[in-house]
């Protein structure tokens, strides 16, 4: 993470959803926003309370915590009412929430439990819709505010083990575009950052995560982007410097999304599969 503050978020106030522990992308985002002079409320699901880690971040950044289930409109309405009373209209929202129930319970894509599937979509995608809906109802968003959510390239391409989460991310990115049009009237911006595989609680919960991480690491020219660099990128999107950027899925992945295959992966695969390289075959 950049050590130096550029003061990019001086005077800005917002809500950051989804910091669970020090590995969380939202945790790194909160630290970077704090470094840049932004103030915020931290929020997570009430079930995360018992872990007792968010208090540490709250103390470090001087932030209040409001517990809210992002699939519950009553919780969100109460949160934004309190947020408006604390800060006045908000300048930013960070949505860093996701969970795949079938993935967690090892149900394959061919045999989904549909109650869990609906819950996965609700937590990982529809929650963004709800958050914006409730923030607007409570008149808690300032004109020109910026909203950022976290996505993954599994929204566009099939990563077999990403299963139902690919569908959730596709819906999430569509919600970004659908709201983006409507929020534009008030110059409110909304974008999704499509992030590299990152070793977090949610990330490591995906079967095959380590292999997906290593694959992307070997293909991306810059290697995988970590949570801290994602946080720095998020800061730019919350700042006024990107005021004309909206409705985008922005890849923060070290170049992975523009690659096919790399020399390193070809060599690794050739060795693992015992495939002869042309020079070995004498051609």
Show which residues are catalytic. Answer: 152, 162
Helix axis angle, 25-35 relative to 54-61, nearest 10°? 10
Q: Residues with Cβ < 8 Å from 243, sequence gap 6 or more? A: 144, 187, 189
Q: Using CB positions, name the residue nearest to ligand NAI.
A: 203
Among 33, 132, 141, 150, binds ligand NAI (CB under 6 A): 150
User: How far is the C-alpha of 230 from the C-alpha of 18, rounded, in Å?
Assistant: 14
Give the burial string for 105-128 (b: 16+ CB within 10 Å, else e): eebebeebeeebbebbbbbbbbbb
User: How far is the C-alpha of 165 from the C-alpha of 96, rounded, in Å?
Assistant: 14
Helix axis angle, 73-87 relative to 127-137, nearest 10°? 50
Q: Between 25 and 142, whose beta carbon lies closer to ligand NAI?
A: 25
Q: Binders of ligand NAI: how many residues, by CB under 6 A?
A: 26
Which stretch, 92-100, 109-117, 241-249, 261-269, contacts ligand NAI (CB under 6 A)? 92-100
Q: Between 6 and 236, whose beta carbon lies closer to ligand NAI?
A: 236
Among 5, 71, 217, 236, binds ligand NAI (CB under 6 A): 71
In eight-state DSSP terms, residue 134 is H
Which stretch, 104-112, 129-137, 195-203, 260-268, contacts ligand NAI (CB under 6 A)? 195-203
Among 14, 38, 203, 254, binds ligand NAI (CB under 6 A): 203
Please say whether the beta carbons of 54 and 44 come within 8 A: yes
160 annotated as ligand-binding: no
CB of 88 to ligand NAI, least distance (A): 24
Q: Between 38 and 98, whose beta carbon lies closer to ligand NAI?
A: 98
Told to check if 98 binds ligand NAI by CB under 6 A, we report yes
Please say whether the beta carbons of 53 and 22 come within 8 A: yes
Told to check if 24 binds ligand NAI by CB under 6 A, we report yes
The CA-based dihedral angle spanning residues 119, 121, 124, 129, taken in that order and rounded to the nearest 10 degrees: -110
Told to check if 224 binds ligand NAI by CB under 6 A, we report no
Site for ligand NAI in 228-247 (CB under 6 A): none
24 annotated as ligand-binding: yes
Q: Between 9 and 128, whose beta carbon lies closer to ligand NAI?
A: 128
DSSP letters spanning 48-109: GGGG--HHHHHHHHT--EEE--TT-HHHHHHHHHHHHHHHSSEEEEEE-----HHHHTT--G
Among 174, 178, 201, 277, binds ligand NAI (CB under 6 A): 201
Q: List binding-site positions for NAD(+).
A: 18, 24-25, 97, 169
Residues that bind ligand NAI (CB under 6 A): 18, 20, 24-26, 44-45, 48, 69-71, 96-99, 123, 150-152, 195, 197-198, 200-203
């Amino acid at each position: 993470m950049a050590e130096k503050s550029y003061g990019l978020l001086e005077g800005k106030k917002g809500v950051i959803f989804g910091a669970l522990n020090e590995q969380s992308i939202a945790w790194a985002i909160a630290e970077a926003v704090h470094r840049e002079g932004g103030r915020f409320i931290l929020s997570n699901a009430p079930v995360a309370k018992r872990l007792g880690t968010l208090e540490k971040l709250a103390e470090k950044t001087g932030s209040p915590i409001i517990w809210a289930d992002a699939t519950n409109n009553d919780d969100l309405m109460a949160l934004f009412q309190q947020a408006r009373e604390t800060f006045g209209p908000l300048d930013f929202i960070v949505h860093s929430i996701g969970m795949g129930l079938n993935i967690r319970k090892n149900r394959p894509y061919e045999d989904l439990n549909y109650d869990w599937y609906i819950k996965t979509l609700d937590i990982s995608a529809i929650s963004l819709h709800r958050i914006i809906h409730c923030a607007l109802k409570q008149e808690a968003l300032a004109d020109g505010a910026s909203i950022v959510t976290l996505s993954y390239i599994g929204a566009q391409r099939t990563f077999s083990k990403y299963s139902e989460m690919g569908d959730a991310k596709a819906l999430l990115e569509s919600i970004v575009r659908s709201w983006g049009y409507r929020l534009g009237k008030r110059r409110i911006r909304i974008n999704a950052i499509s992030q590299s595989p990152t070793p977090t609680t949610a990330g490591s919960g995906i079967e095959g995560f380590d292999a997906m991480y290593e694959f992307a690491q070997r293909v991306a020219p810059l290697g995988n982007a970590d949570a801290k660099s994602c946080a720095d990128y998020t800061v730019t999107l919350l700042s006024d410097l990107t005021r004309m950027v909206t409705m985008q899925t922005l890849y923060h992945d070290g170049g992975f999304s523009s690659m096919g295959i790399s020399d390193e992966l070809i060599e690794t695969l050739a060795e693992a599969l015992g495939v002869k390289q042309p020079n070995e075959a004498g051609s």
